[in-house]
Amino acid sequence: MKLSERVGRVSPSLTLAIAAQAKAMKAEGLDVCSFSAGEPDFETPLHIRNAAAQALAEGKTRYGPAAGEPDLREAIAQKLRADNGLDYQAANILVTNGGKQSLYNLMQVLLDPGDEVIIPAPYWLSYPEMVKLAGGVPVIVETFASDGFKLQPQQLAGAITPRTRLLVLNSPSNPTGMVYSRQELEAIAPIIEAHDFWVVSDEIYEKILYDGADHHSIGSLSPACFERTLISNGFAKAYSMTGWRVGYLAGPSELIAAAASLQSHSTSNVCTFAQYGAIAALQGPQDCVAEMLAAFTERRQLILNGLNQIAGLSCPIPEGAFYVFVDISKTGLDSMTYCRQLLDQHQVAAIPGIAFGDDRSIRLSYATDCQTIEKGLERLQLFQNSLLGVSV
């Protein structure tokens, strides 16, 4: 069958492929320790579920505005003003089917064929594919563990061309867990302002922070930066609402109107009653966020302690999100081979770093219970020892 050239440019999701293989092995009765999931393993908080159930009971099951329920758009705008120092109104908000659609819509309405998008690597694997689907050109800029996997000002300046249209920032980061400090954002903001291109700040992990790290939105640094900033966010990670598919895009009203028009011809509105759950997430008690963060903090320490005991592996200490990005280069294996052998031989599921633009590393998610982490680390150590010929 002949398919479009457009879809032929897109690579399949390796994270979904590994997760699917792990689930299939579990279905066969194998004891699989999965570090592949990019989602919290908690139930959605009760008050959020109750709000959606009440919306169902009240008959909120009809089509709604393509841009989102007005009350949710206003609640998001209030959140961005209060939490992030971003002066948005409801007209600046588009409610989307998860944070992923907010980014997809943005690429579609902003990019023309040949426009360049600067993406620091390691990156979330869908960024380059979304750019390609919009006809744009991903410009991948390699960052290094020695710099905390953070884009340096000279790297950004060196990647800019007359075709540069957008910079993608993700802080806290998937897959590395790094977090840009205000000082680090202030170092790159003048370059963005001087060259007058857009920056989209993917802030989906903003509430999952450790060791006193703070989240900063680059658009809050100055009026000039705010004018060039777009925000992608959602409810999946902070409120354990991955299956609800509620996200949002924030930016200038003209761009938001264009993205809403696009959405009206693709998916239309986000599930109506799910949006009422999202309102409850923003306006209800936030204890649930703190409770989940406490669990992630314990698991983070557990996995870091375990990795420190395994010969030949190393990783920076993540300041946010729920991932560790582990350097496997001493094994001599590429990341795909490493992950396939680890899964086949020891039933441990990890994501190859090549999916994120770094073939020297693998991503481990600690969004799972402590027992799985401990068991998985034991198996990982056995596998690593066998590769390096370490006797125990």
362-375 pLDDT tens trace:
999 999 999 999 99
CATH at 172: 3.40.640.10
Last residue of a domain, one of 234, 254, 283: 283
205 and 122 within one domain: yes
pLDDT of residue 276: 98
pLDDT of residue 38: 85
Q: What is the pLDDT of residues 290-302, one digit of tens each?
A: 999 999 999 999 9
Domain count for the chain, please give it. Answer: 2
Residue 184, domain member (yes or no): yes
C-alpha pair distances (Å), 253 with each of 1, 61, 334: 41, 27, 45
Last residue of a domain, one of 258, 283, 308: 283
55 and 30 within one domain: no
199 and 55 within one domain: yes
> What's the whole-number mean pLDDT along residues 129-139?
97
CATH at 14: 3.90.1150.10
> What's the whole-number mean pLDDT along residues 21-25?
86
Residue 180, domain member (yes or no): yes
347 and 226 within one domain: no
> What's the whole-number mean pLDDT along residues 248-266?
98
53 and 40 within one domain: no
72 and 207 within one domain: yes
Residue 11, domain member (yes or no): yes
pLDDT surpasses 80 at 15: no
Which structure tokens are listed for 295? 């669990």
Would you place residue 389 in the very low, low, confident or very high pLDDT band (cuts 50, 70, 90)?
A: confident
Residue 392, domain member (yes or no): no
Would you place residue 91 in the very low, low, confident or very high pLDDT band (cuts 50, 70, 90)?
A: very high
Q: How far apart are CA 198 and CA 201, in angstroms?
A: 10
pLDDT surpasses 90 at 198: yes
pLDDT surpasses 90 at 222: yes
Q: What is the pLDDT of residues 178-194, one digit of tens each?
A: 999 999 999 999 999 99
111 and 68 within one domain: yes
Residue 293 near residue 287, CB atoms below 8 Å: no
pLDDT of residue 391: 62
Last residue of a domain, one of 283, 308, 329: 283
Over the chain, what HEC string results? CCCCHHHHCCCCCHHHHHHHHHHHHHHCCCCCEECCCCCCCCCCCHHHHHHHHHHHHCCCCCCCCCCCCHHHHHHHHHHHHHHHCCCCCHHHEEEECHHHHHHHHHHHHHCCCCCEEEEEECCCCHHHHHHHHCCCEEEEEECCHHHCCCCCHHHHHHHCCCCEEEEEEECCCCCCCCCCCHHHHHHHHHHHHHHCCEEEEECCCCCCECCCCCCCCHHHCCHHHHCCEEEEEECCCCCCCHHHCCEEEECCHHHHHHHHHHHHCCCCCCCHHHHHHHHHHHHCCCHHHHHHHHHHHHHHHHHHHHHCCCCCCECCCCCECCEEEEECHHHCCCHHHHHHHHHHHHCEECEEHHHHCCCCEEEEECCCCHHHHHHHHHHHHHHHHHHHCCCC
Residue 251, domain member (yes or no): yes
Closest by CA position to 170, among listed 230, 225, 211: 230
pLDDT surpasses 60 at 392: no
225 and 343 within one domain: no
Our measurement of the distance from residue 152's CA atom to the centroid of its chain's CA atoms, rounded to an integer in Å, reads 20
165 and 118 within one domain: yes
pTM for the model = 0.95
Q: How far apart are CA 68 and CA 85, in angstroms?
A: 22
246 and 101 within one domain: yes
Residue-averaged pLDDT of the chain: 95
Longest Cα–Cα distance in the chain: 65
pLDDT of residue 277: 98
200 and 52 within one domain: yes
pLDDT surpasses 80 at 22: yes
Length of the chain in residues, anyone?
392
143 and 269 within one domain: yes
Q: What percent of the chain has pLDDT over 90?
A: 90
Would you place residue 114 in the very low, low, confident or very high pLDDT band (cuts 50, 70, 90)?
A: very high
> What's the whole-number mean pLDDT along residues 322-345?
96
Residue 57, domain member (yes or no): yes
Would you place residue 11 in the very low, low, confident or very high pLDDT band (cuts 50, 70, 90)?
A: confident
Structural domain harbouring 128: 46-283
Q: What is the pLDDT of residues 56-69, one digit of tens each?
A: 999 999 999 999 99
pLDDT of residue 8: 84
